Structure 1
Amino acid sequence: MTTTVEKTAADRLVYGCMGLGGSWDREPYGARDIATAEAAVQAALDSGITVFDHADIYRHGKAEAVFGEVMDRAPELRERIVVQTKCGIRLADGERPGIYDLRGTTIVQRVEESLARLRIDVLDALLLHRPDPLADPDDVAAALSSLHRQGLVRRFGVSNMSAAQIAHLQKSLDLPLVVNQLEMSLQRRDWVEAGVVVNTDQAAAIGFPLGTLEYCRANDVHVQAWGALAQGRFTGRQETPDEHATARLVAALAKDKGTSPETILLWWLQRHPARIAPVIGTARPERIRACRDAALGEPQLSHEEWYELWLTARGAPLP
């Protein structure tokens, strides 16, 4: 039997809970928001998804809170799912701007608050949401180690970090960092572009830190891709000629393979040898279920089909 710890970062697909909890304000959530969360969670489970991704800031904490309501109503869910959350961002509040905060005491406090909202005793994974330039790696490591010793967090990872940043933190931490969550999609392609524009005049325009995927692969850091469906850019809201062309190709491939356009987009990520686990963030049950084939089987894209999707979205030949 696969244990919760073993499943934490290895599932093919992750459900991102940012869309749960109602509005992006401090107004309380209601019965409709709980019902929406229940429907989304059930659709995810029906589609073979067992990893649920949160962050303490999503809907000002309400995403975690409504998820906690769902689990409180169905306690048996806890044994079937993996729960990960993120901390490290402080949202703007009045005249105070939003900042990043990875001080050790803040990390511990945020974890305790997340556990209370989620109504669980332990997080399967905690990710550090954004790099904090003022973070002291030793201070961060001490906080993470303490949370692990207390049995409050099983595993740790990061989000939106480069290879150098992960390695710098890992040097201070005895526990392995096992996840890096990055924005990746057929629209957000800098992660793949960076590897092919080396030694060309296009390299300066690519902001993605070269070597990050290679580091993750070499050090067993599982890559999760947020924004994987590109906010519907290729499945209904195209704005440019390249996007229209890509959407037509996605639809044609989906028809040919007997699956959904959403699955084609996810397969494109999963086909990469980094074994990317896409994060889907829609709260609509029908769109969650449209991703089922990406959760349950290997990506059915050939080498040539993968490149055709990339080049069509790119709108230009490779260097």
Structure 2
Amino acid sequence: MKYMRLGQSDLLVPRLALGCMRMSALSLTEAKQVIQQCLDLGINFFDHADIYGKGQSERIFGQAIKELGLEREQVIIQSKCGIRPGFFDFSKEHILAAVDGILERLQTDYLDLLVLHRPDTLWEPEEVAAAFSSLKEQGKVRHFGLSNVNRYQMELLQAYWQEPLLVNQLQVSLVHTPMIDAGLQVNMLTEGGLNRDGGILDYCRLRGVTIQAWSPFMIDLAQGTFFDHPDYPELNHVLAELADSKGVSVEAIATAFLLRHPAQMQVLVGSMNPDRLQKIAAASQVELSRQEWYRLYLSAGKELP
């Protein structure tokens, strides 16, 4: 497994992390097997959220870590808060209460990283900064980040929070590339030329913010993954060809596509299948040429100007 610095911190993290949304569906024994497989593969970074399984994912993970006899320092734990039933909530009161609940469910004293889950249009950045400061002073959270936000939302919070925000969690996959499309089709009257996020990809590179790519294999929740999907025959043909030539799985090639980007993304993988995790982890050793990267991009139905 290859490692990288997370954002502007000294925190050394694997290029792949386990997204634990689906852990709530596992038995304790199964969860322990998944966690141990990750550790064996060099993946010691685990991404949670208080809404995953209504907290059950965190509960199972916390108990599994305890029963595996792992020291807290052996794992890097990130969780998210801010989504409530029917609305978003970045109030200081909610952030502080949410973190207490997260820590209790995970059976730990601190989070390595707290990420605010979705932008709350009613947020007060100075109130968020006050919450972060309180959590930091109490030793409950070491670092902070955001999720699914644009550059101006990041700038707004940074005007009140003086420490660097380490991450921005954004949806990126071979078939979901609006942040890449806009940078390639600048000033073009095309669908891909629409700048939907204020240039968040280049902004994160400029500011040293790590993009955490979520849903790296998904089309959307309704259609599932793009693997063997009838709408993406050319993409699957190219994936299979490259996988065969490099001796890895198609999942590894799809992951390597994201890892190849110079933005130095960290890919959040959501599989709860130990065998599939092993196949995906091989992406860390795959080298895609510039030509191969663009071939994958175009095979997904993208265009170049």
Assess if the C-alpha contact under 8 Å between 2:14 and 2:42 holds in 1. no
Aligned partner letter, 1:225: A
Q: Contact 1:194–1:210 (CA<8 Å) still a contact in 2? A: no
Find 2:153's aligned residue among 165, 180, 184: 165
Task: Find the counterpart in structure 1 of residue 11 from structure 2.
Answer: 7
2:51 aligns to what?
A: 57
Q: CA deviation at 1:77?
A: 4.4
Are the structure 2 counterparts of residues 49 and 204 from structure 1 closer, same or farther at C-alpha, using a change threshold of 3 Å?
A: closer
Q: With structure 2 as the length reference, what TM-score do the two structures score? A: 0.92
Which residue does the alignment assign to 1:136?
124
CA distance in 1, matches of 2:237, 2:109: 47
* 1:235 aligned onto 2:227: yes
Q: Bigger CA drift: 194-203 or 102-111?
A: 194-203
- Contact 1:88–1:107 at 8 Å: present in 2 too? yes
Shift of 1:48: 1.6
Q: Is the 8 A contact 2:215 2:268 kept in 1?
A: yes
Partner of 1:176: 164
Within the alignment, does 1:291 sit opposite 2:280 as a pair?
A: yes
Q: Cα RMSD (Å) of the superposition?
A: 2.0
The percent of aligned pairs where both chains have the same amino acid is 39
Deviations 1:200-222 (A, max 9, x none): 11158746314211111111111
Per the TM alignment, residue 234 of structure 1 is displaced from its structure 2 partner at its CA by 3.6
SS in 1 for 2:213: strand
Number of matched residues? 296
Are the aligned partners of 2:146 and 2:169 in contact in 1 as well (CA < 8 Å)? yes
3-state SS of paired residue (1:145) = helix
Structure 2: 5+ residue stretches without partners: none
Contact 1:51 1:82 in 2 (8 A): yes
Partner of residue 105 from structure 2, selected from 102, 105, 117: 117
- Does the 8 Å contact 2:103/2:109 carry over to 1? yes
Q: Which residue of 1 aligns with 2:296?
A: 309
| Structure 1 residue ranges without an equivalent (≥5) | 23-31, 92-97
C-alpha distance in 2 between matches for 1:150 and 1:288 = 36
After superposition, the C-alpha distances for 1:236-279 in whole angstroms (9 at most, x for unaligned) are 4x031xx1211111011011011111110111001111001110
- Map Cα deviations across residues 177-199 of structure 1 (whole Å, 9 max, x no partner): 01111000001111110112221
> In structure 2, what is the Cα distance between the partners aligned to 1:12 and 1:77?
22
Offset, 1:281: 0.4
Amino acid paired to 1:283: M
Aligned partner letter, 2:68: A
CA distance in 1, matches of 2:205, 2:139: 28
Q: Hey, what's the Cα distance between the residues in 1 that align with 2:72 and 2:227? A: 33
Following superposition, which runs of at least 4 residues in structure 1 exceed 4 angstroms of deviation?
2-5
2:181 and 2:192 in contact (8 A); partners too: no
